[in-house]
Amino acid sequence: MRSIAVATGVVAVAANPTHYGDPKTGCQSDEQPVQVQGVEGDFCSPACTDAGVCPTDEPSGVTANPQCALQTSSGGKYCALICSPSSLTSNGANGECGTGTCQSISGTGICTYAKSANSLKEEPISTVNFARNFHFENHLKKFGKTYGAEELPRRQAIFEKNLAKIIAHNKEYRNGKATWYASVNEFADLTKEEFAVMRGGKKWTPSTHPVVKLESTGTPNPDSVDWRTKNAVTDVKNQGGCGSCWAFSATETVESHYAIASGKLLTLAPQTYVNCVKNPSKCGGTGGCEGATMELAFNLTAQTGIALESDMPYAGRDEECKAYKAAVKVSGYVKNPVNDAAALETAVATKGPQAITVAAEPWQFYGGGVFHGCSSGIFQSKGSDLDHGVQLVGYTKDYWIVRNSWGAGWGEKGFIRISRANDAKTSVDTTPADGVACVPYPKTQTVGGECGILFDTSYPTGVTGVSEVVV
257 is catalytic: no
Q: Of residues 97, 102, 245, 289, which has the active-site annotation? A: 245
388 is catalytic: yes
Q: Of residues 65, 91, 170, 404, which has the active-site annotation? A: 404
Handedness of CA 295, 412, 383, 135 (dihedral sign): negative
Planar angle of CA 47, 49, 54, nearest 5 degrees: 65
Q: Of residues 283, 388, 422, 451, which has the active-site annotation? A: 388
Which residues neighbour 173 within 8 Å (Cβ) at sequence distance 6 or greater?
A: 179, 180, 181, 182, 369
139 is catalytic: no
CA distance linking residue 304 with residue 391, whole number of Å:
22
User: Which residue numbers are catalytic?
Assistant: 245, 388, 404
